[in-house]
Structure 1
Amino acid sequence: MSQPAEAAGITHRLVASPAGRLHLVEQGSGPLVLLVHGFPESWYSWRHQLPALAAAGFRAVAVDVRGYGRSSRPADVAAYRMVELVEDNLAVVRALGERTAVIVGHDWGANIAASSALLRPDVFRAVGLLSVPYAPRGGPRPSEVFARMGGEEEFYVPYFQDPGRAEAEIEPDVRGWLAGFYAALSADTMPPAGAPDPHFVSPGGTLRDRFPAGRLPAWLSEEDLDVYAAEFERTGMSGALHRYRNMDRDWEDLAAYDGAPITRPSLFVGGALDPSTTWMADAIAAFPDTLPGLVAAHVLDGCGHWIQQERPEEVNRILTGWLTHLGDISYQSVTERR
């Protein structure tokens, strides 16, 4: 199995965290920018951003979230609740000898980044959200909301929440499943309008039944797929899936932040063809209230879900421009909510 050569100048490190250890990859020097991946990915999803941010004068650090890659994988499902992941990010900042950081996340990483800026604005001085917009805690318990979606079909979130069920589908053929999942949400390979939605499971079926087959998206080489598959073949899928299994716990843990805005400077970048953008259009429309520090919002035409890999050059221009602009913003002290 071949793997792509890693870019010159990157450094792999293990740092202590409440999870045990966190693996990270860093490149460059300057103000710290913490990059948090989503499901089902790893630090490698930021491979195009690390050198670009380093060249722009930043210390770019991409982590393996707990449960992924070379980071620790606690056995307890509750260990993957959001407040624990925020503590991991704080541990990374401290381990790197920094006091503050800008945090940028994609997919689940966007939720983790948003929660980090919400809970600890004293440390995370700005937040960038890719693909998944910020939506404050509120409304009914998440499991109740997702259970009502799809009618006779089952939405993928409840499917993932049932321990062992998704693992049984994925783990016999990790590489093939990942290829189909990535293709289903990529602009150039996603199912056409009117085809069965790959976010839903038919009675007695699996998610994979609706994945496109036969072609990788343009952004994903065979070698890139090898990297992702090798990580999950080694670790299994449970650590990654446990994030979905804590949504109700998060709703309970963050009750004090019901409806709370994120006041730190922020950025949103979404893909016009990404269901995360279209399904959450109301959340984007609410940004004047929920992200009062929003510096810019971009929706990229013809782009799917894997935004920083599908459109790396464009995302790099947006990120470096925003980060450079942040240097001109005078930050006021923010009192931590308790």
Structure 2
Amino acid sequence: MTLAFEVTGAGPDVLLLHSTVCDRRMWDPQVPDLVAAGFRVTRCDFRGFGDSPIPDRPWNDADEIVELLGGRPFAVVGASGGGQLGLEIAARWPERVTALALLCTALPGHPKSPQRLAFAGEEDALVTAGDLDAATELNVRTWVGPAAGPEQREAVRVMQRRVFELQPPDMPEPEQIEVEWELDTIVARTLLLSGAYDLPDFREIAVHLAGVLPDARHVELDWAGHLPSLERPELVNPLLIDFLRAV
């Protein structure tokens, strides 16, 4: 079964990895600017998101996604859970990843803050009760920052509702193939963005990664929530393009 994906433009390859609150549509504000800047952009839906249903056999997201790029080198731009996947790809294929831009990235094993635990508990309760509309609204309130407008909130609402449709509460836990990887194999130059209005976990992760990755810079956006590329693309796109061009 093939992942849903799109390739646009010509030039050095850039791979866009979406947040697990969203799907590949979250990058709609970035693709035209990246293409105009001279990049070939690949974006896909992970299994259980957007147009990629969960398969009937075990899979590994990183393995499937890297196949989309063939043998070419590429830069990675990842948001939240997509940032964590970007870290895995950069760690497992260090010779392929030319640059790594992480927006409010997750990190496996990082201790969850009381705020994040409270969110998870409330979401689980709503999903278990079958109130997926309320669970969707909880995600929009939690993850979309104050700089976003109604259009951006509605986009996240639609994408998150699609996640619940593809991964209903009565579905057995999908089986993914876990591959061990370590941060110390990452060699790519890294840009880390965090949002002042996000949960504290993600700033802590950015600060930690900036201290352990070999060539990393952390920028905190004082206006941003968890999804800055959606909230204010006119401010984020120049940061990404300048970083990718420099590499």
Verify: 1:54 aligned to 2:35, yes or no.
yes
Runs of 4+ in 1 over 6 A off after TM superposition: none
| 1:93 to partner: Cα distance | 0.8
Which secondary structure state, in structure 1, belongs to the residue aligned with residue 2 of structure 2?
strand
Equivalent of 2:24, from 31, 43, 49? 43
Verify: 1:260 aligned to 2:220, yes or no.
no
Aligned to 2:52: 71
Spell out, residue by residue over 1:21-58, the C-alpha distance to the aligned partner (whole angstroms, 9 max, x if none): 10112321111111001122100110100111001000
Aligned to 1:209: none
| 1:265 to partner: Cα distance | 1.2
Aligned to 2:87: 114
- Letter of the 1:26 partner, please give it: V
Equivalent of 2:68, from 84, 92, 97? 92
Change over 3 Å in CA distance of 1:226–1:271 after alignment to 2: closer
Q: TM-score, length-normalised on structure 2?
A: 0.82
- Letter of the 1:36 partner, please give it: L
Which secondary structure state, in structure 1, belongs to the residue aligned with residue 184 of structure 2?
coil
Equivalent of 1:293, from 215, 220, 240? 215
Verify: 1:314 aligned to 2:235, yes or no.
yes
Aligned to 1:130: 103
Q: TM-score, length-normalised on structure 1?
A: 0.62
Whose RCO is larger (CA < 8 A, sep 6+)? 2
Between the aligned partners of 1:62 and 1:22, the Cα distance in structure 2 is 10
- Report the aligned-residue RMSD: 3.6
Which secondary structure state, in structure 1, belongs to the residue aligned with residue 149 of structure 2?
coil
Verify: 1:104 aligned to 2:77, yes or no.
yes
Structure 2, unaligned runs of 5 or more: none
Asked if structure 1 preserves the Cα contact closer than 8 Å seen for 2:21 and 2:156, the reply is no
Asked if structure 2 preserves the Cα contact closer than 8 Å seen for 1:53 and 1:60, the reply is yes
Asked if structure 2 preserves the Cα contact closer than 8 Å seen for 1:69 and 1:232, the reply is yes
Equivalent of 1:272, from 180, 191, 196? 196
Asked if structure 2 preserves the Cα contact closer than 8 Å seen for 1:261 and 1:292, the reply is no
Which secondary structure state, in structure 2, belongs to the residue aligned with residue 90 of structure 1?
helix
| 1:129 to partner: Cα distance | 0.4
Spell out, residue by residue over 1:290-318, the C-alpha distance to the aligned partner (whole angstroms, 9 max, x if none): 21122x43211121111100110111000
Between the aligned partners of 2:219 and 2:37, the Cα distance in structure 1 is 20
Between the aligned partners of 2:61 and 2:114, the Cα distance in structure 1 is 30
Between the aligned partners of 1:289 and 1:230, the Cα distance in structure 2 is 36
Between the aligned partners of 2:66 and 2:165, the Cα distance in structure 1 is 27
Between the aligned partners of 1:167 and 1:68, the Cα distance in structure 2 is 17
Between the aligned partners of 2:172 and 2:21, the Cα distance in structure 1 is 9
Between the aligned partners of 1:228 and 1:34, the Cα distance in structure 2 is 20
Equivalent of 1:303, from 213, 221, 224? 224
Structure 1, unaligned runs of 5 or more: 1-19, 190-216, 327-338
Equivalenced residue count is 247
Identity among equivalent positions (%) equals 22
| 1:231 to partner: Cα distance | 3.2
Equivalent of 2:6, from 17, 20, 25? 25
